[in-house]
Structure 1
């Protein structure tokens, strides 16, 4: 059994062991995983953060031992918060541009350093961790707005390209809350609301297709406003019918349910 971690800014994860295969998600810097299968130059991995599985180019994996993997499981890493962070390894002249949601394990905030295995890194920019946020709902909206106008990318989790559930997952991660990867999984979390008027900033709205399958998710911003990734990260109107696109002046997604993940205080 092997274990790995990303010391690259982004590792694409594909549905099959081939470069031309669909990208289903991305592993961000500092996120760790279990290698569950090897085929030639490809490795099938299971991400520790959300148990998502897919194939990555074996050359992109930085190997860690089981002891370090288990230590990662019991500590909450700091999370890169700025739109861009810069990371550099000790005694190494190369810099790495890091996207929001990247993980810095065993972080020393005073020194602004962290460790991956035996390697020590230093970072620039801000990080967040569990318990940092005084008003989680405001913080979620602030984080979501950082992605405003980011292009839509199936499987994406970064400001360079992001999909609807990638947006909700990363925004919640920036606020110390774990969500599954896909909208069809995220809808199973939290408490349902009866009316759209009950929704508060940071609640999640889910939308289905003609077959009743959950295909889209967005973040409630304000009364009858939603932040979501559709073509790009945008703000549209939402009501009991669904999302009303402010540009095309028509409904684009049919509302199924609104879920409250954050406890009401």
Structure 2
């Protein structure tokens, strides 16, 4: 097979084809991918959502053909919005617990149904269908707060564990906006703001290390407040110097730039 889709709640994507290799991201339920390379047990994939590449256990991927892959690329994204959603396979007694940001392909909003490959599902809970308009910034903050206190996990994209750029990417996905996976890529998107005082809720703040490499990102909430994943998803103070951790009572991240993705 040259294309695949996730029929599992969460699939770890690893740097190398080995269980002990670090997880670099996760493929969520309903997200699809191109298969670039295969060996006996592993498949190197490129995620259609953000073009991120890594290795997955081949047994975890459900194969699809190129025609379906291309249709999925063009389809309007409908994603799970509640902190937890239950989905039920048609004519099957089992159910699956789905995390926010999961995709529901070929979704019928009236019947609350969707399809993955040749399987039909029904869902409970709310979905996002990219229609927030003038309330988009409020919706982004509401989405971010759903992850409050979620533990930090390198490569994570779920309430069970999430990293800083995973948080910003999924929060934006829940609101119909596609961001790259890593902070070093996300910083290339949007318009640069000159002063932190210009920032509005939903703008992204980026932070660098001593070598000038972007290593952290967070979501501006209110004036001088930021939501970010560092140890856990938390709210801290932010100013022109960087993030001031209210528990440690010191600056932990050095501000590099603030970017505006939402033009409203």
TM-score category by the smaller chain?
over 0.9
Q: Which residue of 2 aligns with 1:124?
A: 124
Q: Is the 8 A contact 2:88 2:96 kept in 1?
A: yes
Once residues 62 and 88 of structure 2 are traced to their aligned partners in structure 1, the CA distance between those partners, rounded to angstroms, is 16
Paired residue for 1:189?
A: 189
What is the Cα deviation at residue 116 of structure 1?
A: 1.3
Measure the CA separation in 2 of the matches of 1:70 and 1:14: 25
The aligned runs of 1:51-130 (5 Å cut-off) are 51-130=51-130
Partners in 2 of 1:92 and 1:205 — Cα distance? 45
Partner Cα separation in structure 2 for residue 132 and residue 107 of structure 1 = 18
Quote the residue 2:29 is aligned against. Answer: 29
Deviation at 1:170, TM superposition (A): 0.2
The DSSP-based 3-state class of the residue aligned with 2:138 is helix
The match for 2:202 is 202
Q: Distance in 2 between matches of 1:160 and 1:59?
A: 22
User: 3-state SS of the aligned residue for 1:104?
Assistant: coil
Q: Deviations over 1:3-45 (max 9, x none)?
A: 0000100000000000000000000000000000012200000
RMSD: 0.8
Q: Distance in 1 between matches of 2:242 and 2:153?
A: 22
Q: For 1:157 and 1:185, how far apart are their aligned partners in 2? A: 16
Q: Where does structure 1 differ by over 6 angstroms across 4 or more consecutive aligned residues?
A: none
Deviation of 1:169 after TM superposition, in Å, equals: 0.1
Q: Do the aligned residues in 2 keep the contact of 1:133 with 1:139 (CA within 8 Å)?
A: no
**CA displacement at 1:133 relative to structure 2:** 4.9
The answer to whether the Cα contact below 8 Å between 2:208 and 2:214 also exists between their aligned partners in 1 is yes
Provide the rounded CA distance (Å) in 2 between the counterparts of 1:134 and 1:128: 15
Cα distance in 2 for partners of 1:139, 1:133 equals: 10
The aligned counterpart of 1:12 is 12
TM-score (norm 2): 0.99
| 1:240 alignment partner in structure 2 | 240
Partner of 1:147: 147
Match of 1:41 in 2: 41
What is the Cα deviation at residue 117 of structure 1? Answer: 2.0
> Would you say the 8 A contact 1:77–1:106 is kept in 2?
no
**CA distance, structure 2, for counterparts of residue 64 and residue 19 of structure 1:** 24
Q: Where does residue 172 of structure 1 map in the other structure?
A: 172
SS state of the match for residue 30, structure 2? coil
Give, in whole Å, the separation in 1 of the partners of 2:236 and 2:32.
Answer: 35
- CA distance in 1: counterparts of 2:40 and 2:209, whole angstroms: 38
Contact 2:77 2:176 in 1 (8 A): no
Contact 1:225 1:237 in 2 (8 A): yes
